Structure 1
């Protein structure tokens, strides 16, 4: 990238170019269709420096609903959720509870009992019209549950937005991996027709993707980085409400495919 220079018709050295200020003004904040049309045009470069390695076959399929929900209001508190409840957020109705012991440490030493469980649901346990009338019960469940992935296996993840307590875009960030955005759209995901429309040739490669408001997005990646990797919404209040989860990628057979031990000077939490 070349150096960015100031533009001026004045003679060089006759103006102060040490400070530049600008004003960015938005005409609208909800141009959902415009955003969708623009992001659908993004493509990978597809050259020798940035090859496209989108998985053509999938070994692990996941369908996650993402959105808001509610919790009972704690005693002696005033909550701003519907009907006096407390706002919450979840993935597949699991609101992630942060552990008191590091997940990576528990994963390495194999002592996950009482720290995290590996029964995160691959699909919603209770199906409904995700962008239609929300269910009467909007309460979420809680737990420190992770998704386990064998080393070097391929993953397809469909993230489906819901209309529970309002539909909105959720920017989801995955640590430890880049992935390819192979499809996205409005409404509910159709497992019969939507995969046929996937871009498996030159999809954009990212580490953060927006689950469209009232829609869904499909990504693919290869689980070739051992460890425990956080995935979370980048809207901070949603993150604090539990819109997060973790992927536990297991070791491969070769030495360079295994999670290294913690350093001797690792600070205690």
Structure 2
């Protein structure tokens, strides 16, 4: 990975999961960005891509060269399908899209690109991360090796982002109504958890939990708790170094 700039935005945190399998990125360097390679796709098929923006601050633009994507879900809620060649994904947001592969591709591989949408002040990582969509061709020699890197909107292109988000509509129709009641007839209370399941006794450390957005840490949306040592040697923390500053 390249040395990050003073920012929490690491573009490699845009995760693309077509098969629920992990795919190792290639080693990146300052003159060669980190790239991710997906499994080879077949001709004329439809694939469901689950996109996750795991960055802490910025929305991300995402595009696959010479391909349209059909948005069908956002944040675990189905939406009315619509086609776009460039997506916008908010921090912590998940988006499911349909990728329809070409029956007669002109290239064997197509680059994918992502970078932030940012309109504020300050320093952030404005680099572009790349991925590779590979086709499984019966005769690879008949197609070019690599398509051109796709272009993305300017980093501060608010009009594009507004146009994209305005197309997100709930899946409300006669078959899937989305009626919102004006009055509440019953009250329901659901217990999500009681804290009755203890943490593993070998997980001794100071644990830190915070809201997804990094800026919220400065607002106090954070907490820490300490897990004490267990009885067995492998359940104890090593002592701190002798030169560790005291609190």
TM beyond 0.5: no
TM-score, length-scaled by structure 1: 0.37
Q: Which structure ranks higher in relative contact order (CA pairs < 8 Å, sequence separation ≥ 6)?
A: 1
